Amino acid sequence: MNNGYDLLVICNPNNPTGKFIDKVILDDLAVSCKDKGISILLDEAFIEFVDGSMYRSLVEYKHENVFIVRALTKFFAIPGLRLGYGITFNEKLKVKIEGNREPWSVNAIAELATKVLLEDSEYIKKSEDWIREEKPFMYEGLEQIKGIKPYVTEANFILVKLINDMKVEEFRGKMISLGVLVRDASNFNYLDNRYFRLAIKDRKNNKKVLRCVEDAIR
């Protein structure tokens, strides 16, 4: 019995927590869902920011009831092109998608950009090195600031909780006045007006954000 559900959607890593679900857990979940007639849509839009995981799941998640979707817009910073792709090991589903998709779903410029981006090993390597250094730097810096609680992340953003009397609306307003825009995370399920999310940038901007958070929290 599947209680009327036929699809489970999972973001991996999760947004906004940045938590990454291990392959062993996903494997067990895929098998359990298959027994109940449930498919899994695995959204890996931020997968490239997880250390060592850029291409891993493409060859490891060979479950017919799992469909993987990825975006190039996050890691390669090309939101305007709206590029992405899907992976499935279900031949019937693949044929069905091919029969229903638009003939020209990607324009010529976007198609060319895809080929260039995925072969740009220098950019990929530098970006992986950057996030590997800045992720712990940002987290450790936030840990030193009284009045907030950062959560360990495996993505390129950090979820933070206000643990003083301040609410996120007030905090966000103060940060804007200091020239920094933060993501109000109160509209995510199970979160409230004590949560916000910060993007991880380069060292110069990360230091600025840390200074601004400390000033705003006072």
**pLDDT, tens digit, for every residue of 159-218?**
999 999 999 999 999 999 999 999 999 999 999 999 999 999 999 999 999 999 999 998
At residue 2, the pLDDT reads 58
User: How far, CA to CA in Å, does 66 sit from each of 45, 59, 84?
Assistant: 15, 12, 17
Domain stops at, among 118, 148, 182: 118
**108 and 129 share one domain:** no
**pLDDT, tens digit, for every residue of 4-46?**
889 999 999 999 999 998 888 888 999 999 999 999 999 999 9
**pLDDT, tens digit, for every residue of 84-110?**
888 888 889 889 888 888 877 888 888
Is the pLDDT score of 61 beyond 70?
Answer: no
User: How far, CA to CA in Å, does 13 sit from each of 44, 51, 53, 155?
Assistant: 7, 11, 10, 7
Higher pLDDT pick, 218 / 59: 218
At residue 55, the pLDDT reads 52
User: How far, CA to CA in Å, does 90 sit from each of 12, 21, 31, 153?
Assistant: 20, 22, 14, 32
Per the structure, the complete domain to which residue 147 belongs is given by 122-217
At residue 150, the pLDDT reads 98
Does pTM surpass 0.75? yes
At residue 23, the pLDDT reads 82
Q: Under 8 Å CB-to-CB from 56, ≥6 apart: which residues?
A: 23
**78 and 142 share one domain:** no
- According to DSSP, the residues that pair with 7 across neighbouring strands are 39
At residue 54, the pLDDT reads 53
> For residue 2, is it within any domain?
no
**113 and 17 share one domain:** yes
**91 and 128 share one domain:** no
At residue 5, the pLDDT reads 87
At residue 101, the pLDDT reads 83
Q: Under 8 Å CB-to-CB from 198, ≥6 apart: which residues?
A: 138, 142, 157, 158, 160, 182, 183, 209, 213
**pLDDT, tens digit, for every residue of 139-159?**
999 999 999 999 999 999 999
**73 and 15 share one domain:** yes
**91 and 109 share one domain:** yes
**138 and 126 share one domain:** yes
Using CA atoms, how far apart are residues 112 and 107, in angstroms rounded to an integer?
9
